[in-house]
Structures are given as C-alpha cells and as structure tokens.
Amino acid sequence: MQIGNQAFTAVQGEDVAFLGTRPIPAKPYYDPDWFEMEREAVFRRSWMHIGHVCELPESGSFIRRELEVLNASLLIVRGKDGQLRAFHNVCTHRGTQLVEEAQGKRPTFSCPYHMWTFGGDGALLSAPDFESFGLDKKDCALKQVALDVCAGMIFVHLGNNPPPLREWLGDLADQMETLPVARATTFSEYSYNIAANWKLTYDNFQENYHLRFIHPRSGRSACGPDNPFGYPKEYAFHDPHRTQTIWTNPDPQPTETIATAFARLAPRAMAEGLMEAPHGRKYFALFPSFFMLGTPLQNFVHVVYPISATQSRGVIRLYWVGEDANASERFGREAVMGVAREVHSEDIAVIEAGQRGLSSGALEHIHFQTQEALCRHLFNMVEAAVNAYRAEQTA
Ligand code: FES
Ligand SMILES: [Fe+2]
C-alpha cells in the first residue's frame, strides 16, 4: 500500500530470524540472583553514559553522579589542564564521600571529616598531620575511573581493561557525532523512579507495538493507515548495540502543541545547519541501557539506571544548541519537553503493571514478535554476557 508518495514495508520475520524465535525466560526480568550477575557481567563491563561536556564548561567544574548498580558515587571534574577525569567520590583517608552537591565549581575538594584536600587531577594536596601517617602523598590520590567522550557525551567504565570507547561504539560513534547533541551547550532534564526491572523499562522504548494502544493521541503523528503501529523502517544490529530508523509519516497530523513547538524550534535548527544531520531519523540503542533519537528539532537522550531487580531510575534529556534566543524559542523547548513527559507518563503505569505480573512468578516465559526484535536482541546480549561471566566464575 502507498501513502502519498511513500510506500511502507514493515521489517519481515526473515530479516531478524538470526535472533531466533524462542520464548524468553521470564526470571531475568525479576529475579534478584540474576540481577546480581548482571551487575558484574553487564554493567561493570560496559561503558555507561553519565553526562555531557556542557555540564563542565570550565576548569574546576564538577558533577557528582550515582551509579547504584555498581554501588558507586562518581566525581567528574574538569582539571586545570582542561582534561575531564572521573574519580570515585571517596576520600582515600577513611572512605568518606567527598562531595555532596550534585554539581558546582571548585579549585580543590576537601573531605569534611579530617580535611584531606585533593586537586582537580585527584592528587592529594594537603592533609593535617600528614607526616604521622608514614605515607607518600602520591599514593593517596583519588581512585580514578576510565572516562571518555563521544558526541559531547561522557561515558565511564568501572571494569578492568576497558576497550577504547570508540571501539566499543564501533561505526555508531561517527554517526552520533553528526547529531545536535555533539554541539549541545544546554539541556532540559527530568528523572523518574519506576518500580520495574531495567530491561522491562528499557524495552518499552525500543518497540512501537504498544504505540497505538498506550499513546492513541500523542503517538498519532507516528502512525498512518499504511503503518498503523508506526513501525520503524529498518532495524540494524551492531553487537552489542542496535538501531532502528524511524518511519516518517508523509501526512503526520501532529497535535497542535507539537506543531507550534516545532515551528518555533525550526529557525534555530535551520540557522545551525542541524536540519542536514544525516542520522536524525535513527534511534540509537547503546548497550546496556542508553537510547538517543537525535532529530534536528529534539535531540532526545534517555538512560535507564538499574537500582535493584525491580527498581530503576531513568534520566531523560533534550539537548539544545545555544541558549534560548527569545521567548518563542523558550516556549518551543518547554513544549517539546512537556510532550516527552506526557508520552512517558502514559508508559509508566503499563511498565509497572508488567513488573507486578512478572514478579508474581506466574510466567515461565515471555514472547517477542518480529517488531519487538530489539527487545529480543537486548535479552540475547544480556544472556550471553551473564553466561560468559558464569563460565568464568566456575572455571
Ligand atoms: S575520611 Fe576524609 S579526611 Fe578522613
Ligand atoms: Fe510508549
């Protein structure tokens, strides 16, 4: 069938047959023992996104970020030399957390307990009565964590011998560099807590099967008579990551809010050359729990941070190039964020209802169809990582 001048053909089962068609075990979506293995097998062995360079504009700028899944509190600092570094937010004297503020700017970091003071490069600068420890200051620096940046986005790796970030991202790194996020100077953010497993939460955002039932109004512009579920044009797999290419409805009929907001955001996007971003219709799903859709008018990033087998925390950001130029642009940015929150609020209840059902233990298996191929791919990747970890533990 044809809409306007654009035919739509959904991805077919044979295109994703290599992922298998088996029922998926339900336990990994609620079992605490499985979650304990994921901490080490998945999250300690992955680069995890935790911030953006625009949050650390000057030497001395810092942010504190919690990674509950690895019991870590991290301090990201821009040093005097302009370099970004990540440290455990842990004083090397007796372990007190150094910084309580979420962000700020300081030349040095002093521990509140006994006033050991560290520089932005993590070095111990001074400590009262230090002579009586019999220690060397250079052995007392903050514990550093691997940090790297792609497309302006900061990633950290808390495991041993991390691969270079660009190697981990593969060909997606260059594609992400073309998106507005790579040049962003500011962002809007909201975070949420959800009573659901991180995979269940994440999967909701990598399938459109639920779109017309859960988002009949807000999702309407993504669907058309030829493509009633708003299915993507293409799925692609870049182990362990995956992408989908969003279908463009030639007759979108957006809600009034979206139409008004986009009209107000378009002048900047045109002036900044963002409209030509070649990968603006691609949805990047980076292992383990990062999404990004970098359309020229709304560069959307969403990360799901696990807390326990059945609790997660999500952070959603919209990235912008340049401060609001005028009230019209301010309105556009707020309105787009409002729409994102609206769509998301529609999702939360059904994700939590899924968790309650799974946690009851009633099901041994769950099922994914062709258009839930990205969910299946995530499970396959997680299962492979857990199996590899288990094999190492028993060897
Ligand atoms: S624990 Fe930090 S100075 Fe003592
Ligand atoms: Fe949804």
Ligand 1 binding pocket mutation candidate from 89, 90, 92, 94 (most atoms within 8 A of CB): 94
Would 141 be classed as within a structural domain?
yes
**298 and 205: one domain?**
yes
CA distance 133 to 366: 58
Which ligand approaches the C-alpha of residue 348 most closely? 2
Would 137 be classed as within a structural domain?
yes
Give the pLDDT of residue 6: 57
Give the pLDDT of residue 4: 43
Would 175 be classed as within a structural domain?
yes
CATH number, domain containing residue 122: 2.102.10.10
**83 and 187: one domain?**
no
Q: Is 133 in the pocket of ligand 1 (CB under 6 A)?
A: no
Task: Name the residue among 300, 48, 335, 325 with its Cα closest to residue 187.
Answer: 300
Task: Name the residue among 59, 286, 244 with its Cα closest to residue 151.
Answer: 286
**40 and 53: one domain?**
no
Of 161, 181, 197, which residue sits at a domain end? 161
Of 140, 161, 182, which residue sits at a domain end? 161
Which ligand approaches the C-alpha of residue 89 most closely? 1
**154 and 40: one domain?**
no
- Residue 341, domain extent: 2-45+171-394
> Digits of tens for pLDDT over the chain (395 positions)?
344 445 788 999 999 999 999 999 999 999 999 999 999 999 999 999 999 999 999 999 999 999 999 999 999 999 999 999 999 999 999 999 999 999 999 999 999 999 999 999 999 999 999 999 999 999 999 999 999 999 999 999 999 999 999 999 999 999 999 999 999 999 999 999 999 999 999 999 999 999 999 998 877 778 888 898 999 999 999 999 999 999 988 888 888 888 888 899 998 889 888 888 788 889 999 999 999 999 989 999 999 999 999 999 999 999 999 999 999 999 999 999 999 999 999 999 999 999 999 999 999 999 999 999 999 999 999 999 999 999 999 99
Number of domains in the chain: 2
**55 and 41: one domain?**
no
Would 320 be classed as within a structural domain?
yes
Of 161, 182, 209, which residue sits at a domain end? 161
**185 and 220: one domain?**
yes
Would 99 be classed as within a structural domain?
yes
**176 and 156: one domain?**
no
> Which residue's CA is the nearest one to ligand 1's atom 1?
94
Look at the chain and count its residues.
395
Who contacts 280 (Cβ-Cβ below 8 Å, separation ≥6)?
Answer: 179, 274, 294, 295, 296
Q: What share of the chain is helix, strand, coil (3-state, %, to 5)?
A: 35, 30, 35
Helix extents (H) in the chain: 32-38, 165-169, 172-176, 198-204, 211-214, 256-271, 327-359, 373-394
Q: What is the DSSP annotation of 296-339?
A: TTEEEEEEEEEEETTEEEEEEEEEESSS--SHHHHHHHHHHHHH
Closest atom of ligand 1 to 92 CA is 2
CATH number, domain containing residue 11: 3.90.380.10
**286 and 365: one domain?**
yes
**32 and 73: one domain?**
no
Would 9 be classed as within a structural domain?
yes
Q: What is the DSSP annotation of 81-109?
A: TS-EEEEES--TTT------SSEEE-SEE
**273 and 181: one domain?**
yes
Would 166 be classed as within a structural domain?
no
CA distance 25 to 216: 30
**58 and 112: one domain?**
yes
**152 and 177: one domain?**
no
Closest atom of ligand 1 to 114 CA is 3
Q: Is 143 in the pocket of ligand 1 (CB under 6 A)?
A: no
